[in-house]
Amino acid sequence: MNVVSRHVCDLGRFDADPEKSYTIPKEYYTDPAIFAREKEAIFFKAWNYVCHTSQVAEAGAYVTVRIIDQNIVVMRGQADVLRAFYNVCSHRAHELLHGCGQTRMVTCPYHAWTYHTDGKLRTAVGQKRVEGFEADEFALKQVKLEEYAGFIFVNLDPDASPLHAEAGSLADDIKGYCADVPGLKFAHRLTYEIKANWKNVVDNFLECYHCSVAHPAFVDLVDIKNYHTKTYDLYSSHISPPGRSDNAAYQIPDGPAGNFAAWWLWPSVTFNVFPGSANITVLHIQPTGPETTLEHFDFFFADATPTEGERQAIDYIDKVLQPEDIGLVESVQRGLHSRGYNQGRLMVDKDRSYNSEHGLHHFHALVLKQLGDL
Ligand code: FES
Ligand SMILES: [Fe+2]
């Protein structure tokens, strides 16, 4: 493979001051060598989103997640202890569980080794005939797990500091807009495979400069002129009062409409409260390669069966908002290969207005710092 890395540490016109800064150079969005560094320095060091607590509430419930090339399973043990493991058999490395579900024990599909839900090896066919075989040696390898703000996160770095210490006031901020996140139930998942680098997708989430141009219904759903982005250590908030109840996106039920409130948490998950009845949605942006990204858009409502209004909101996001954004980021990804482009100026204004792109600068600086490039 011909890996281009000559620009790895050349930040060009990126500046520590957001008001003077350009974007990170285009290689950061395309170079396999930079992606390989991000995998180790960012995704294998950060707290990665897995699911809502209700999705692993019962003994034996499990949810799997991929962190680039690492397959992880979160599972609740019989004694009500939640654990995370590398989702791989200790025998000859077959993957163990798929998707999500509930099980009394884990059976490997290859040679039927079985594991308890606490990760200990239960049986290996023929183990008594193998000299010195110690079942204890073959328990599943555990990964750090933390419940935070009603959600489950894992971290592959055994020395990682706790998420609640790293995320600061995020959980309290979310509570201010969605009072009972743990009480909501999983209602729907939308899935998208996007031909774009994960940072390109995050960038798009972090600014509403494009909203008036690209999202005519969204700027009707929210009060766009009062859309504000604030940055914190490891997250940013994107908050707006509601727009018109008979907006072009979906009908907001009668009663107080609630704000649009969204948060991006390092490195690649967003939590969103849309105007309407109690809800939170999670947009999990998962890199699958230097220029490919998997997105899950999960909806959590008061009830697992969406109401008519909630169904309308899901349809709006699936049929309108997501295609609008995916079209943008895929075009940008193609544009990043152009010989006529390297870095663009971040449109950051002093007032941090609704058009300001300071959220991107905050994100780009975190990426560069974590890579050791800044
Ligand atoms: S790889 Fe799992 S039992 Fe052999
Ligand atoms: Fe958008």
* Domain shared by 111 and 220, yes or no: no
Q: What value does the mean pLDDT of the chain take? A: 95
Of the residues 100, 124, 155, the one at which a domain ends: 155
- In the chain, how many domains are there? 2
* Residue 305 within any structural domain of the chain: yes
Of ligand 1's listed atoms, the one at least distance from the Cα of 92 is: 1
* pLDDT in the model for residue 251: 82
Task: Kindly state if the Cβ of 319 falls inside 6 Å of ligand 1.
Answer: no
Residues 208/354, Cβ–Cβ less than 8 Å: yes
- CA nearest neighbour of 56 among 102, 98, 105, 87: 102
* pLDDT in the model for residue 256: 65
Task: Kindly state if the Cβ of 89 falls inside 6 Å of ligand 1.
Answer: yes
Q: Looking at the CA of 203, which ligand is closest? A: 2
Of ligand 1's listed atoms, the one at least distance from the Cα of 113 is: 3
Is the pLDDT reported for residue 4 higher than 80?
no
Tell me the average pLDDT across 237-257.
83
Task: Kindly state if the Cβ of 145 falls inside 6 Å of ligand 1.
Answer: no
* Domain shared by 231 and 345, yes or no: yes
pLDDT tens-place string over residues 159-204: 999 999 999 999 999 999 999 999 999 999 999 999 999 999 999 9
Task: Kindly state if the Cβ of 113 falls inside 6 Å of ligand 1.
Answer: yes
pLDDT tens-place string over residues 56-96: 999 999 999 999 999 999 999 999 999 999 999 999 999 99
Largest Cα span, the chain? 73
* pLDDT in the model for residue 99: 97
* Residue 269 within any structural domain of the chain: yes
* pLDDT in the model for residue 210: 97
| Strands in 39-120 per DSSP E | 48-52, 61-67, 70-76, 82-86, 100-102, 106-107, 114-115
Please tell me the distance from the alpha carbon of residue 8 to that of residue 35, in angstroms, as a whole number. 11
* Residue 340 within any structural domain of the chain: yes
* Domain shared by 150 and 181, yes or no: no
Is the pLDDT reported for residue 1 higher than 50?
no
Task: Kindly state if the Cβ of 109 falls inside 6 Å of ligand 1.
Answer: no
* Residue 135 within any structural domain of the chain: yes
* pLDDT in the model for residue 301: 96
Please tell me the distance from the alpha carbon of residue 114 to that of residue 105, in angstroms, as a whole number. 7
The order of strands in the sheet holding 151-155 is 48-52, 151-155, 142-148, 82-86, 70-76, 61-67, 100-102
Q: How far is the CA of 187 from the centre of ligand 2 (A)?
A: 23
CATH of the domain at 62: 2.102.10.10
Residues forming a β-bridge with 51: 152
Segments forming the whole domain that contains residue 70: 48-155
Q: How far is the CA of 179 from the centre of ligand 2 (A)?
A: 26
Q: How far is the CA of 143 from the centre of ligand 1 (A)?
A: 20
Is the pLDDT reported for residue 341 higher than 90?
yes
* Residue 42 within any structural domain of the chain: no
The rounded radius of gyration (Å) of the Cα atoms in the chain is 22
Tell me the average pLDDT across 216-224.
91
* Domain shared by 134 and 179, yes or no: no
* Residue 285 within any structural domain of the chain: yes
Q: Whose CA is nearest to atom 4 of ligand 1?
A: 111
* Domain shared by 184 and 125, yes or no: no
Task: Kindly state if the Cβ of 110 falls inside 6 Å of ligand 1.
Answer: yes
* Residue 253 within any structural domain of the chain: yes
* Domain shared by 239 and 332, yes or no: yes
* pLDDT in the model for residue 255: 67
